[in-house]
Amino acid sequence: MLLKKLVLLASLCATAFGFSQSGTLSGYILFDNNKPALGASIVIEGASLKKEASAGVNGEFIFKNIPYGNYTLITSSLNAKSNTKQISINSKSKSVNIVLELTSYQDLQEVVVETKTEKRQIEDEGFAVNVIETKEASVRNIQTNELLNTSVGVKLRQNGGLGSRVEYSLNGLTGSSVRIFINGIPISIYGSSFSLNSIPPSMIERIEVYKGVVPGHLADDALGGAINIVLHDTTTSNFNASVSYGSFNTLQTSINGLYRAEKSGFTVKASGFHNYSDNDYKISGGQVKVTGLGGVQTPITARRFNDAYRSTGGTAEIGFTNVRWADQFFVGVTGSDDYKEIQHGAFVTIMPYKDRFRESDVLLGNLTYQKKDLFTEGLDVNIIGSYGKRNQVTSDTLAWAYSWNGERAIDFRGDEYQYSWGSQQEKTEYGPVENHITRNVASIRTGISYEINNNHKFLFNHFYSNLDRKDRNEYASSTENAFTGTRDLHKNIYSLTYELTAFDKKLKTSTFVKFYQQKRISKDPEIQQDDQGKDIIVDEIVSSNKKYTGYGFAGSYAIIPEVTLLASAEKAIRLPNETEVFGNDGDNVIPNPFINPESSNNYNLGFRFGAFHINKHEFTISTNLFTRNIKQRIGLPIERVPDEELILYENQGDGTSKGIEATLNYSYNKRLRFNYNITKLNLKVINRGVEIDVPNTPFFTMNAGLNYNLKNVFLKNSNLNLFYSAYFTETFSYLPPQGNNTTGAEFFEVPRQVAQDFGLSYNFPNNKFVLSFDAKNLFDKPLYDNLRVPKPGRAFYLKLNYFINKF
């Protein structure tokens, strides 16, 4: 299948050379202070053509497939005078830069046209979606995960510091119910070494968070929602590098750049990152104790001593952009490697781990082809494929027991001792473990859309992924390894979407249907006897091939320009993933081959009010009511032992999630900005015939942020931005209620949490250097997440960014 699609791609490229003459117009829109005019509207208009676009984060814009001829460019911004320019398109590519004159106010009569930004266009499609722009965060010491955690309805569930396992909760649904994408490709293809922990915001253009109902173009089994990371795809030459250092010996660096030859369209782009942290922050409470003589246990405040993290990776691609036969054509390679020490199991237990770690790497070949108006106007094609190998090693070979003081543990007589099973994690089958998992992975995503006219559009999308897995333990005998089976997981997802725009663009709808197929194959060697009674090794093959159907709808209606109704619904399916079916030693997850898919009927109903403008004030209010009716919910067991080391995913039964979320955004004079959001939900599941709250889930969260901009501080044409953020999480329990007996229930509670961060960034006059400082958890409050695992305390970070927007 993969080969057929590559052949099809080659034939499409070969056939697409004979179009009528047209060119590409691109350039930058800047203010007269040499700063990018983010969001500025630009219109190109000719005798038989009119197109609109908005300037990107660097002020860039692009119009493709413009027939040769004469045109008028009209550029406008709310805080600058409009600009009109006459141009001619008579070559394959033309570049033009536009400078807008800043004003203290904008006469409304000067605004020729107001074009919606990409963010607003996505939010107007009817889905319950948050669009997070990363321009400001890209220069600060903020992780992509931290940026997500500020968004309404989103809650991160992290087992510690940088590099620790992260789950994403959208309106109460968590784990693999939420799918993560990079440019529409599931991040699971890249493995743990290429995660949101390791992708710096400077590489990201925006983040799209779809809650409950996921559009058809993200064809995947995302039952609870989807997070799509959209990387910068500018086709103008640029370069960016950053380095930051801070608490817990945390070092983070990133570099990315692109070069394009204007005449030929030949393009080279590359990006890379390196992250390291000791993660040696202090923890206390719970089971953080030292056992002394006579078995006396003494609570202490300890530093984590086996929790270091390192990740290094990057991508390199060569190809062509904005040429007649392709908007983008790239072949490239993606590679990464990470190392993560493991301090404890699923819970913080009284006996921590020492020298237990997980290491993984990935190497993938990539192919990308994109073309708008292929063969005919309105026909767009997008193909992204990858193939490669992922490796993972989990090592646990130390037999000595350790205490939270970082020293060897002693028994009641005062003697140091070793575990009889020979490793940190208790295993009775064999002693030390060095478990290798090798995966061959392949995926291809195909998207074809046809816009009949401005009112009707059809989209077809297909996603295929294949994973072949082989496990091996270096400390097991050759016979045991010879009888280790292989695991294959195949997935096909198809979607067909119809989009309607009507009533002068007031009504927008998207109706879609999705088809799911998952095939699991397990091969386990076993000894059998042949016809002559001799022992032979044969493969016992267990396979399943299941198919499902889902469908959905999203729509928006602008009652008046400032008031929009949004509604969406979907029957969603979520197939069990590799870890849930086959387990993962590195994350202490054991296999469950009998786990079933989960399904849910998801509904959203919301309003958006604004943006309202009153003099220099601007504000927007949005709200969303949601409900999820879940069948065969997949999650961790509801009733668990607090000192349990291993975890197993299972079908918990039926459940419901209902709630409300709201967001307020306010700005004054484009300099002071305030945002606030609140989420209140009720997540229930049936356990032994009784409806109970789902444990280990926060039900009430609030976030707030304040930003103020100061100009000409210390140096003329400089910018100083001040940031303040606050996060609130109400008390929740990580174990279910035990009937009417509430004695000791507080031991299983995650207490109320309030975290506050402060930061500043200073943009030097040349716009090439940005220096930033961040103080996180400023008041050093205890913070927890999954199963009351402590998170880092107060921390400080300094970061330097260097930019070249064009060269």
pLDDT digits (tens, 9 = 90+) for 471-486: 888 877 777 777 777 8
**Residue 125 binned pLDDT confidence (cut-offs 50, 70, 90):** confident
d(CA 258, CA 271): 9
Which ranges in 509-563 belong to alpha helices (H)?
none
807: in domain: no
Is the per-residue pLDDT at 6 higher than 50? no
Q: 72 with 174, same domain? A: no
State mean pLDDT over 615-638: 88
Is the per-residue pLDDT at 728 higher than 70? yes
Lowest mean pLDDT among 73-87, 114-128, 730-744: 730-744
What string of H, E and C letters represents the secondary structure of 207-252? Answer: EEEEECCCCCCCCCCCCCEEEEEEECCCCCCEEEEEEEEEHHHEEE
Q: 141 with 75, same domain? A: no
The structure tokens listed for 64 are 């493709």
What pLDDT sits at residue 573?
93
Q: 86 with 169, same domain? A: no
Q: 550 with 612, same domain? A: yes
The structure tokens listed for 19 are 């179009």
**Residue 441 binned pLDDT confidence (cut-offs 50, 70, 90):** very high
Q: 178 with 61, same domain? A: no
The residue written with tokens 């056939």 in the block is 15
User: Among 444, 426, 427, 342, which residue's Cα sits nearest to residue 392?
Assistant: 342
Q: 16 with 161, same domain? A: no
Question: Where is 722: in which H helix or E strand?
Answer: strand 719-729
Q: 464 with 540, same domain? A: yes
Q: 66 with 129, same domain? A: no
Domain boundary among 110, 145, 176: 110
d(CA 24, CA 681): 48
The structure tokens listed for 514 are 């999705």
431: in domain: no
Three-state DSSP at 681 gives strand
Is the per-residue pLDDT at 11 higher than 90? no
d(CA 524, CA 486): 7
User: Among 787, 754, 782, which residue's Cα sits nearest to residue 159?
Assistant: 787
What pLDDT sits at residue 65?
82
Lowest mean pLDDT among 344-353, 477-486, 698-707: 477-486
Q: Which whole-number Å values give the CA distances from 83 to 28, 79, 448, 468, in the listed order?
A: 13, 12, 36, 57
What string of H, E and C letters represents the secondary structure of 544-559? Answer: EEEEEEEEEEEEEEEE
Gyration radius of the chain over CA positions = 28
d(CA 609, CA 625): 15
741: in domain: yes
What pLDDT sits at residue 639?
61
Is the per-residue pLDDT at 16 higher than 60? no
What pLDDT sits at residue 692?
84
726: in domain: yes
Domain boundary among 110, 131, 152: 110
Is the per-residue pLDDT at 332 higher than 70? yes
Domain boundary among 87, 110, 133: 110
Is the per-residue pLDDT at 697 higher than 90? no
The structure tokens listed for 28 are 């930058």
What pLDDT sits at residue 766?
79
CATH code for the domain of 294: 2.40.170.20
Q: Which whole-number Å values give the CA distances from 39 to 76, 242, 250, 573, 659, in the listed order?
A: 10, 25, 35, 37, 33
Which parts of 428-485 are beta strand (E)?
433-451, 456-473
What residues contact residue 503 under an 8 Å CB cut-off, 6+ apart? none
d(CA 619, CA 611): 6
Q: 125 with 55, same domain? A: no
Higher local confidence (pLDDT), 88 or 636? 88
3-state helix, strand, coil in the chain (%, to 5): 10, 55, 35
State mean pLDDT over 781-798: 88
Higher local confidence (pLDDT), 20 or 262? 262
Question: Where is 275: in which H helix or E strand?
Answer: strand 266-277
Q: For the chain, what is the mean pLDDT? A: 85
Q: 746 with 600, same domain? A: yes
Is the per-residue pLDDT at 430 higher than 70? no
Question: 753 and 781 in contact (C-beta within 8 Å)?
Answer: yes
User: Among 676, 709, 718, 670, which residue's Cα sits nearest to residue 39?
Assistant: 670
State mean pLDDT over 691-697: 84
What pLDDT sits at residue 642?
52
d(CA 505, CA 502): 5
Q: Which whole-number Å values give the CA distances from 92 to 23, 233, 357, 541, in the listed order?
A: 4, 20, 54, 57
In the sheet where 22-31 sits, what is the strand order? 60-67, 22-31, 93-100
CATH code for the domain of 39: 2.60.40.10
What pLDDT sits at residue 581?
83
d(CA 553, CA 128): 11
115: in domain: no
**Residue 720 binned pLDDT confidence (cut-offs 50, 70, 90):** very high
Is the per-residue pLDDT at 730 higher than 90? yes
pLDDT digits (tens, 9 = 90+) for 512-552: 999 999 998 888 787 777 777 787 778 788 788 889 999 99
The structure tokens listed for 462 are 């297909």
User: What is the share, in percent, of the chain residues with pLDDT greater than 90?
Assistant: 45
Q: Residue 99: exposed, middle, or buried by beta-carbon count in 10 A (0-12, 13-18, 19+)?
A: middle
Question: 215 and 206 in contact (C-beta within 8 Å)?
Answer: no
Is the per-residue pLDDT at 19 higher than 60? no
Specify the amino acid at residue 289: K
What pLDDT sits at residue 105?
40
**Residue 103 binned pLDDT confidence (cut-offs 50, 70, 90):** low
**Residue 3 binned pLDDT confidence (cut-offs 50, 70, 90):** very low
614: in domain: yes
Is the per-residue pLDDT at 179 higher than 50? yes
**Residue 57 binned pLDDT confidence (cut-offs 50, 70, 90):** low
Q: 527 with 630, same domain? A: yes
Sign of the C-alpha dihedral computed for residues 577, 578, 579 and 583 taken in this order: positive
What pLDDT sits at residue 1?
45
The rounded Cα 175 to chain-centroid distance in angstroms is 12
Q: Which domain holds residue 524?
A: 120-404+438-764+775-791
d(CA 492, CA 518): 7
430: in domain: no
Largest CA distance in the chain: 96
What pLDDT sits at residue 641?
53
Q: 222 with 334, same domain? A: yes
Question: 469 and 487 in contact (C-beta within 8 Å)?
Answer: yes
What pLDDT sits at residue 473?
80
Question: Pairing mode, if any, of strands 22-31 and 41-45?
Answer: unpaired
State mean pLDDT over 171-188: 84
Is the per-residue pLDDT at 619 higher than 90? yes
421: in domain: no
The structure tokens listed for 381 are 């094609």
Q: Which whole-number Å values give the CA distances from 236 to 13, 314, 379, in the listed order?
A: 23, 20, 25
What residues contact residue 609 under an 8 Å CB cut-off, 6+ apart? 562, 563, 620, 621, 622
Number of domains observed in the structure of the chain: 2
What pLDDT sits at residue 14?
33
pLDDT digits (tens, 9 = 90+) for 363-410: 999 999 999 999 998 999 999 999 999 999 999 999 999 999 999 999
pLDDT digits (tens, 9 = 90+) for 499-512: 999 998 899 999 99
What pLDDT sits at residue 569?
97
State mean pLDDT over 710-736: 90
Q: How many residues does the chain have?
A: 807
State mean pLDDT over 318-322: 94
Q: Which residues pair with 792 in a beta bridge?
A: none
The residue written with tokens 């929602």 in the block is 225
**Residue 64 binned pLDDT confidence (cut-offs 50, 70, 90):** confident
State mean pLDDT over 80-103: 86
**Residue 135 binned pLDDT confidence (cut-offs 50, 70, 90):** confident
